[in-house]
Chains A and B, each alone.
Chain A
Amino acid sequence: MTPIMKIINLQVSYYTDSGRARALDGVSLSLEPGEKLGLVGESGSGKSTMALAMMRMIKPPGRIEGGQVIVGGTDLTALSDDEMLKARLSKISYIPQGAMNSLNPVMRIGAQMVDAIRAHNHSISGSEMEELCLQTLESVDLKRSVFRMYAHELSGGMKQRVCIAIGVLLKPQMIIADEPTSALDVVTQRQVMETIDRVQDKIGAAVILIGHDMGLMAQFVDKVAVMYAGRLMEVSHVREMFTDPKHPYAQALIKSLPNLDNKGIFQGIPGMAPALLRLPRGCAFHPRCEHMMEICQSVRPDLIPLTDGREVSCHLYSEAN
């Protein structure tokens, strides 16, 4: 199957007073239709930057410096500004983190859904648009009456589901969900995740779920990608990521997850993530790595495929090969 999405060597930098910060340093990834990928990493690892870059929403002082983002055969980085406007929501959509504030407080929900449709399709009639919106609302388990309501009349979970509804309104091929449940309670979290699962299944879109809740990832995604300092460290199927992670950073992450068997014993990862202004030479993780070798200090490891579709960026495995 041809991948529905391919990211090739994406590079994004931010130019600040203190210098150039490499937020994304050559990231490559691909997804099949209907596949769900979980993107995890610490704060500042570049996850959100990746989402913004894919939507071409990087604002100055940030810039996309290189690479391609190909969705459904179209290279988004090569589109004109107008074409990109059209592509947003119809080819690739974004479900924001913290829907608390993502809805316009002075417009009715329905109006905010309709204007999204109208921006992409000028010939569709008012009643058709309304019907589409109402059906989409139902598909995310919301009552049709929400159409006439204002954002402040809805609960957090409901607002998030409205955002999901908007995200799937035009049946995009790719959906990015940026920590969609972080502001919600556990019960609502599950509802929202189930909703995303269901609608994504219905339209056959690929999903990138960004977050740091590994437990949530485990229940929902097919593959997991681990990011660190703007680079991909490992991409594995979810089961294997949790049972047999290959990259030392991924291993440390999994080991640090609280576990009913060893209550009270917390294992962190010593050291701190590097500032994106001053990335270490060679492998970005080497200063904190248990298995650091001499080559790690000077040569940056490529993302190499292992057996059965896994990829790792670590010198431990290039030798084994």
Chain B
Amino acid sequence: MTSATITLSEFQQPSRLTLLFRYLRRNISLVVGLFIILGLVAFTVIGFLTLDTKDAYPLSAKARQPPSLEYPFGTDFFGRDLYAAMVVGMWQTALIGVLAGAIGTFIGVVLGFTSAYFGGLIDGGIKGVCQVLTPIPVFLIQVVIAGSLDKRSVTIYTMALIVVLLSWMGPTLVIRSQVLSMKERQFVSVAKLSGLGDGGIIFGEMLPNLLPFIAAAFVGQVFSAVFASFYLAVVGLGPLREPLLGNTIWAAQTQGAFFNGWWWWPLAPAVAMVLILSSLALINMGLDELANPRVRRTE
């Protein structure tokens, strides 16, 4: 065989940065979503740095003031400075979301894994419970739980727990099916044959492959936790003293804000909530595009 030289026609591979920009240009949702979330984070951080969180609670400012220079978002019936309320409220919403999201994902991973890895009765039991709980409208149960608690014991943390109580089924089933399919695949058998113990297989081989699903489950759980806590607050079942965004809207409605002309009261938290949820949804959609190449639009 003669050796051959390949003469290339003039051709340049575009730089990696260019390829990244081209991708981002197509995946607009991810970019916009991240942008909004960063904006909200900045708002909250600046807020915490510039004001006194006490102002988010009743009787700290003149009541029923429309937006002005002194009170950028106005004040409510109870004398809260709505600007402070928004900042604290957003932080609390984020807290609930991340807390409940983390716990929910954790339970999902543990249960899903146990169920699939050990199989048999354990699997049947866990799977059965998930399946039976799924058709029950979860919000109903959450509403009943939240409504039965003594008003004083409803705090942000109890909200997170109530929310988590009925949201772990989703991640459990997803992780379980992933682990089940992994069990069938060769690399587990190979690992077993090479003498790796259960622990080694679980942490060394399977968990790394599960990471994208765990990450996706986490994002989903945060999203649904923010939603659920918002819904509970909006029907008046949240920790009423806290300036959670949903609480503010509920308080505004029960005091007849629109009837009385205090339009800014429900509007500000509504806008904030929309921004939070839209950005989470956009990020979700953007990640979906990343993961599923067929959805990608071609130039």
Contact = CB atoms under 8 A, between A and B. Distances in A.
A51 to B, nearest CB: 21
A290 B4 CA distance: 10
B292 interface: no
A271 interface: yes
Name the prevailing secondary structure of the A interface residues: loop
A286 B7 CA distance: 10
A18 B2 contact: no
Interface stretch (B11-19, B224-232, B248-256): B11-19
B9 A278 contact: yes
A61 B4 contact: no
A44 interface: no
B11 A19 contact: yes
A280 B19 contact: no
Interface in A1-60: 15, 17-19, 60
Interface in B125-183: none
A281 B1 contact: no
Contacts of A278: 8-9, 11
Given A17-B22, A61-B298, A292 B4 contact: yes
Contacts of A19: 11, 13
B6 A17 contact: no
Contacts of B22: 17
A61 B298 CA distance: 7
B299 interface: yes
Given A17-B14, A17-B19, A292-B2, A60 B7 contact: no
Given A278-B11, A281-B7, A287-B4, 14 more contacts: A15-B299, A17-B19, A17-B22, A18-B13, A61-B298, A271-B4, A274-B6, A277-B11, A280-B6, A280-B8, A282-B7, A287-B5, A292-B4, A298-B7
18 contacts: A17-B22, A17-B299, A19-B13, A60-B298, A61-B298, A61-B299, A274-B6, A277-B11, A280-B6, A280-B7, A280-B8, A281-B7, A281-B9, A282-B7, A288-B4, A290-B2, A292-B4, A297-B7
Interface of A: 15, 17-19, 60-61, 270-271, 274, 277-282, 286-290, 292, 297-298
